[in-house]
């Protein structure tokens, strides 16, 4: 194994901060550049409790990112910024792991509706590899451009895919209710995300129009065989981090809870970062600050529905941790490199 030089663009956002901490201790990565307009010219050590060469680095302006000289670039940037920057970096020979939604949806025509821009890089879109190793590992090896999955998409696709693939649940009529911590909204000052507005409150948002909907449907269809239009209702809860998703599916045959639990166990047997347990034991506190996903399934015999509960840390398995896991897979390294000491 050899060491790769790495840069992080958007290093002062929540995902960028997590990436900096993780990459700084990754045995095969050497951080050489961090980009943030907010903290431009400040030292990394003045912002993060890090030691050594990483602490001595100084943040650089985002406008300099297109000239990054490194082996790999992590883009913790808005989708429009990634769309412009990724092709420039790839043309310079860099491997790119993009944490935005710029390359997640294969259908180019879907971007105006879900992301409010026209996609101008059809060739890169076609070549991007989806960075959810538990479902897409085979396609990641050697990837030049990794499209890191969305946080909701990670939690929900992991929950839905095994039951549909096993023929136990119908790909139609799926309904998902999911709750996310406030860090999922990004690091920005806004009245809606201020303490007084959020504390002791709970709200649904972007009902039926969240940008992760087509990504979830695409991912489940790609890896489970089919997925019809789903109802997805995200909620904002007054906690810092974490996602808990409750997914309801119609049985496709006379199946019992034991069948569904066995399907989850088979799908994720041997996976380092996925644990299957009783549905009522899945909780956010057990996955917070880890790269793990916890899953459980129950059968509602009265309503005759499967209920799959999924929990992840939105900043780690839903963003920075998964980006490192996907890079590890792309390089043929142990996927737990840089992630093995994350506790809970």
Query: Each residue of 195-228: pLDDT tens digit?
Result: 767 677 789 998 989 999 999 999 999 999 999 9
Rounded Cα gap, residues 60 and 36, in angstroms:
6
Decide whether 4-148+319-331 matches 152-312 in CATH topology. no
CATH topology of domain 152-312: Dihydrodipicolinate Reductase; domain 2 (3.30.360)
Q: Rounding to the nearest 10 degrees, give the CA dihedral for residues 17, 22, 28, 30.
A: 30
Residue 286 reports pLDDT greater than 80: yes
Comparison of pLDDT for 182 and 273, the residue scoring more: 273
Residues serving a catalytic function are 151
The pLDDT of residue 342 is 73
CA angle 219, 225, 227 (to 5 degrees): 60
What CA–CA distances, in Å, run from 306 to 101, 174, 264?
A: 29, 10, 12
CA atoms within 13 A on the CB side of 291: 26
Residue 95 reports pLDDT greater than 90: yes
Domain boundary assignment for the chain: 4-148+319-331, 152-312
| Other CB atoms within 10 A of residue 2 CB | 6
What CA–CA distances, in Å, run from 180 to 127, 141, 196, 284, 314?
A: 31, 31, 18, 10, 8
Q: Rounding to the nearest 10 degrees, give the CA dihedral for residues 57, 58, 63, 64.
A: -40
Rounded Cα gap, residues 110 and 102, in angstroms:
11
Contacts of 274 by beta carbon, 8 Å cutoff, 6+ apart: 134, 158, 268, 292, 293, 294, 295
CA atoms within 13 A on the CB side of 244: 17
CA atoms within 13 A on the CB side of 310: 29
Strands 293-300 and 274-276: parallel
Residue 175's SS3 state is: strand
Contacts of 152 by beta carbon, 8 Å cutoff, 6+ apart: 178, 180, 210, 212, 216, 232, 234, 243, 245, 318
Residue 292 reports pLDDT greater than 80: yes
Rounded Cα gap, residues 326 and 333, in angstroms:
10
Strands 203-204 and 145-147: unpaired
Measured in degrees and rounded to the nearest 5, phi and psi for residue 293 equal -120, 130
- What is the band of 255 on the pLDDT scale with cuts at 50, 70, 90? confident
Question: Averaged over 170-182, what is the pLDDT?
Answer: 95
- Residue 45 Ramachandran class (φ > 0 left, ψ -120 to 50 alpha, else beta): alpha
Is there a contact between 235 and 205 (Cβ–Cβ < 8 Å)? yes
Partners of residue 9 on adjacent β-strands = 35, 75
Rounded Cα gap, residues 231 and 53, in angstroms:
48
pTM over 0.85: yes
- Architecture of the structural domain at 4-148+319-331: 3-Layer(aba) Sandwich (3.40)
- Residue 80 Ramachandran class (φ > 0 left, ψ -120 to 50 alpha, else beta): alpha
Residue 191 reports pLDDT greater than 80: no
- Residue 25 DSSP symbol: T
CA angle 197, 202, 204 (to 5 degrees): 110
User: What's the chain's average pLDDT?
Assistant: 94
């Amino acid at each position: 194994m050899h060491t790769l030089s790495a840069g992080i663009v958007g290093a002062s956002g929540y995902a960028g901060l997590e990436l900096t901490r993780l990459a700084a201790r990754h045995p095969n990565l050497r951080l050489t550049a961090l980009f943030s307009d907010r903290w431009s010219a400040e030292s990394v050590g003045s912002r993060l409790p890090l030691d050594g060469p990483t602490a001595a680095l100084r943040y650089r302006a985002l406008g300099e990112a297109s000239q990054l000289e490194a082996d790999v670039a992590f883009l913790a940037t808005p989708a429009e910024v990634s769309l412009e920057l990724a092709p420039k970096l790839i043309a310079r020979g860099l491997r790119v792991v993009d944490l935005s939604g710029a390359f997640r949806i294969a259908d180019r025509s879907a971007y105006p509706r879900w992301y409010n821009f026209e996609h101008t890089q059809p060739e890169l879109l076609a070549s991007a590899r989806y960075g959810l190793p538990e479902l897409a590992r085979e396609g990641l090896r050697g990837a030049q451009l990794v499209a890191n999955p969305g946080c909701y998409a990670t939690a929900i696709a992991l929950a839905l895919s095994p039951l549909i693939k096993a023929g136990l649940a119908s790909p139609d009529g799926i309904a998902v209710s999911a709750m996310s911590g406030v860090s999922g909204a990004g690091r920005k000052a806004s009245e809606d995300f201020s303490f007084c507005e959020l504390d002791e409150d709970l709200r649904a948002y972007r009902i039926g129009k969240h940008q992760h909907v087509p990504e979830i449907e695409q991912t489940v269809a790609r890896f489970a065989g089919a997925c019809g239009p789903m109802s997805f209702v995200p909620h904002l809860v007054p906690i810092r981090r974490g996602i808990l998703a409750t997914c309801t599916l119609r049985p496709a045959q006379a199946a019992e809870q034991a069948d569904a639990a066995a399907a989850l166990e088979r799908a994720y047997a041997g996976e380092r970062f996925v644990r299957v347990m009783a549905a009522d034991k899945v909780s956010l506190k057990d996955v917070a600050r880890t790269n793990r996903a916890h899953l459980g399934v129950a059968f509602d015999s009265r309503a005759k529905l499967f209920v799959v509960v999924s929990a992840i840390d939105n900043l780690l398995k839903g963003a920075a941790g998964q980006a490192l896991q996907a890079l590890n897979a792309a390089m043929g390294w142990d996927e737990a490199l840089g992630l093995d000491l994350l506790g809970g």
